[in-house]
Amino acid sequence: MRRFSSLIPLVLSALLVLTGAFSPHASSLADVLPTDSEPLVIATAEGTVSFSVELALTPETRASGLMHRQSMDPDHGMLFRFDQTRQVLMWMKNTPLPLDMLFIDDAGTIVGIAEDTTPFSESVIASPGPVRYVLELNAGTASRTGISVGDTARHRAIRQ
């Protein structure tokens, strides 16, 4: 059995290549295999909006973020949690998806929104003040769903 168990990674890699699931644009298997996500809810003036979010909680996951992603489901996003409340500087280097970035304070209140950011840009996108969290969504999502400054995000990673 030991002889066959060492072949499993090789067979999986061959299947990914043969089915076209692995592309030269993917930075790792995490880009082609499903990732764990969790529910996040935003309370807006018109009601609640739900998303399924991946978490970026460590320096490594925050550094890579959504880089190299070619697509993302309309109701998905990525929630970045920083170790302390501070001015946050983001950029779109190696990110082919245009995004909306929601800047969120300690209490979960959205304090700023950078809409429709430019793919691959190295320009700095600064939070409007000290924040603890950033939620990245597909570009146009904030406008389409009525999300605005003052709305509240709820998720287990956001302390409230």
What does pTM read for this prediction? Answer: 0.78
Q: With cut-offs at 50, 70 and 90, classify the pLDDT of residue 160.
A: low
Q: How far apart are CA 32 and CA 48, in angstroms?
A: 30
Asked whether 136 and 80 are in contact (CB, 8 A), the reply is yes
Residues 103-157: pLDDT tens digits? 999 999 999 999 999 999 999 999 999 999 999 999 999 999 999 999 999 999 9
Q: With cut-offs at 50, 70 and 90, classify the pLDDT of residue 13.
A: very low
Residues 55-82: pLDDT tens digits? 999 999 999 999 999 999 999 999 999 9
Tell whether domain 34-154 is in CATH 3.20.19.10: no
Tokens of 89: 């500087």
Domain segments of the chain: what residues? Answer: 1-26, 34-154
Mean pLDDT of the region 89-99: 96
Residue with tokens 């090789």: 10
Q: How far from 106 is each of 74, 111, 127, 157, CA to CA, in Å?
A: 26, 10, 13, 11
Q: With cut-offs at 50, 70 and 90, classify the pLDDT of residue 47.
A: very high
